[in-house]
Chain A
Amino acid sequence: MRSHAQHTSPVPTLSQAPEPLATDAPAAEIRLLSHRISAGFPSPASDYVEDGLDLNEYLVRNKPASFMFTVKGDSMTGASIEDGDKVVVDRSARAQHNDIVVAVVDGEYTIKRLYLRDGHVELRPENPAFEAITFGEGSELEVWGVVVGVVRRYPVAR
């Protein structure tokens, strides 16, 4: 579920409509519907104004349920998740077969790919040097959240 409530309204402009346009619409739609009326020459770009790209919007599907983790170790390099990467973990997503998840094993967090097939429950690494964690009778898997994104910065010395 997404919420638009906290979205601020776009740059104040004079609307040609007498009433405020759709208030429940996402801000992006409101922006497309508004026009500027100005006394001088209108800027040819004003009809195309958009907010800049927002990485939060791109990475976070559900803000109150999203948490960031730092990855340690090489167990997921095959999925392009490296030591030191930050991952976005969404607790509201239901974990399914083949999702990358953060799970709690022996009281610690682990990041692995979830395998749920033919009655087998496993947390599989993406690196042949590591072994899968299996869950037999009587041991329960605790998924903390589903990994929905990864971010990494590269040092640039300039």
Chain B
Amino acid sequence: MDSPSPQFALVDANNFYVSCERVFRPALASTPMVVLSNNDGCAVARSNEVKALGVKMGTPWFKMRELAAQHGILAFSSNYTLYGDMSNRLVAVLRQFAPEVEVYSIDESFLRIETVAHLYGGAGAMGQQIRARVGQWTGLPVCVGIGPTKTLAKLANHMAKKNPEFNGVCDLHALSRAERGRWMAGIEVGEVWGVGRRLEERLAALGIHTVLDLRNASPKWLRSHFGVVMERTCSELRGISCLALEEVVPAKQQIMASRSFGQPLEDIEALREAVAAYVSRAAEKLRAQASVCAAVHVFVMSNRFRPEEPQYSAGLTVPMAEACDDTRALTTAALRGLGAIFRPGIRYKKAGIMLTLLSPKAAMQRSLFDVAGAGARSAALMSVLDAVNRTFGRDVLRTGASGTEKRWAMRSENRSPRYTTRWDELPVAR
């Protein structure tokens, strides 16, 4: 029996962060609002009302203050705990619909649906059921785009989002060839997955302005001008599936943890606490992907937007005697590096660490100097550490070096309660 040709659905939550906030604040259902990035910098999510006012993604909050006062725009600090939990719920619902799900980002997932769509009365009907169930169960509005390739599913999702006549679900299979061509002629090429604004300009210079132009371009010609990725995008737009579902995210080659400080830090003790906390977080991720790390890079920098202050930026990679995943050894290495690059008299704005030279733990080489049994004891301690922190909340157990004061914590002045993960922050019903 021939296997049916691939069909992809891209399910994407509308204005995800804003929608998460609104699930728990029904009074704000039509209030213009934005969610700001770390340290309350830029708008990373905008409600439709704010988009209609012409506010672009990434606009710094200080630049829209006046507009905000004029139109009553509310600004929320990012509440990643809440968004992460809502994202998990969304994905749990999607997994009931299709056996193969690729979680592409916090608010977007690809589903392979060709073997299951008939159970729901076809792809379009399945899309509507996904939308209804996600809305009913989680309160999140989503749009669904369906097509024979991932690139087309993504395009269909864009169409569903921008055009109310699709009622939130656009199945490209349901459109005739001529209709698909008309839609493609009306969408800028920059909207195509993987093209982006920079390539959009180069394509425009060569006469390619719309999605249809790109689809109709010669793949060979595209390859010679832009490389194999653009050729593949063109094939995908023609309905030839080149990109498979990535159900298993490949293990990361490096793990980074860094943040800007809410207020500048000057003394090394505060920096040591921040760096130790970053190592803890990164080492947790390292163990979760069953890797070990052979070097720790640590870096610090001053605020380059304050040219009147002395500027300094430095980083150092500290090799480990033996690749490991032990928070204590990695913290020691990172703090040694910090000690070497620290200069007094600087107002530090940011610090971070990166675990590099990662390899699978299973393939790890034992060092000549490993004291008998120390490796096993470390593994036992680290698994207890991770289990306790998973069960009782982040950072219940941590190394002494990461401190308790957190002067370096991210600034988030208007973060909403963590409605779904903290007993003392639950929503209230009267």
Q: Which residue of B lies closest to A91 (CB)?
A: B137
The CA of A86 and the CA of B420, in the complex, are separated in Å by 12
Residues of B within 8 A of A108 (CB): 26-27, 430
Count, chain A residues at interface, CB 8 A: 29
Residues of A within 8 A of B29 (CB): 107
**Of B88, B89, B139, B426, which is within 8 A of A86 by CB?**
B426
Total A-B contacts with CB atoms under 8 angstroms apart? 73
Contacting B at CB under 8 A, from A88-123, are 91-92, 102, 104, 106-111
The CA of A65 and the CA of B89, in the complex, are separated in Å by 7
A1–B96 CB distance below 8 A: yes
A109–B429 CB distance below 8 A: yes
The CA of A63 and the CA of B137, in the complex, are separated in Å by 10
B426–A69 CB distance below 8 A: yes
The CA of A110 and the CA of B428, in the complex, are separated in Å by 8
**Of B90, B420, B423, B430, which is within 8 A of A67 by CB?**
B420
Assuming A64-B89, A64-B93, A92-B137, is B427 touching A107 (CB within 8 A)? no
A64–B138 CB distance below 8 A: yes
**Of A65, A70, A91, which is within 8 A of B426 by CB?**
A70
B137–A62 CB distance below 8 A: yes
Interface stretch among A21-29, A32-40, A48-56, A71-79?
A: A71-79
Chain A proximity mask over B398-424: 1 for CB below 8 Å, otherwise 0: 000000000000000000000110010
Q: Which residue of B lies closest to A111 (CB)?
A: B429
**Of B27, B90, B427, B430, which is within 8 A of A73 by CB?**
B430
B430–A91 CB distance below 8 A: no
Q: Which residue of B lies closest to A90 (CB)?
A: B137
The CA of A71 and the CA of B430, in the complex, are separated in Å by 6
Q: Which residue of B lies closest to A104 (CB)?
A: B26
Give min CB distance, A120 to chain B, whole Å: 22
**Of B92, B136, B427, which is within 8 A of A70 by CB?**
B427
* A80 CB within 8 Å of chain B: no
The CA of A73 and the CA of B428, in the complex, are separated in Å by 10
A72–B27 CB distance below 8 A: no
The CA of A64 and the CA of B90, in the complex, are separated in Å by 7
Give min CB distance, B111 to chain A, whole Å: 16
B430–A72 CB distance below 8 A: yes
B428–A72 CB distance below 8 A: yes
* A14 CB within 8 Å of chain B: no
Give min CB distance, A96 to chain B, whole Å: 15
Give min CB distance, A116 to chain B, whole Å: 18
A64–B429 CB distance below 8 A: no
Residues of B within 8 A of A62 (CB): 137
Assuming A5-B95, A107-B27, A142-B26, is B137 touching A65 (CB within 8 A)? yes
A69–B139 CB distance below 8 A: no
The CA of A69 and the CA of B426, in the complex, are separated in Å by 5
Chain A proximity mask over B83-118: 1 for CB below 8 Å, otherwise 0: 000001110110110000000000000000000000
The CA of A111 and the CA of B138, in the complex, are separated in Å by 19
Residues of A within 8 A of B420 (CB): 67-68
A63–B92 CB distance below 8 A: yes
A110–B430 CB distance below 8 A: yes
B26–A107 CB distance below 8 A: yes
Give min CB distance, A84 to chain B, whole Å: 10
Assuming A3-B92, A64-B92, A65-B138, is B427 touching A75 (CB within 8 A)? no
Give min CB distance, A108 to chain B, whole Å: 7
The CA of A57 and the CA of B136, in the complex, are separated in Å by 22
The CA of A1 and the CA of B92, in the complex, are separated in Å by 12
* Other A-B pairs, 10, CB within 8 Å; known A107-B29, A110-B430: A68-B426, A69-B427, A72-B429, A87-B429, A102-B429, A104-B26, A107-B28, A108-B27, A142-B26, A144-B26
Closest 8 pairs between A and B when the two form their complex, measured CB to CB: A107-B27, A65-B137, A64-B92, A64-B89, A109-B429, A111-B429, A104-B26, A70-B426
Residue ranges of B at the interface with A (Cβ–Cβ < 8 Å): 26-29, 88-90, 92-93, 95-96, 136-139, 419-420, 423, 426-430
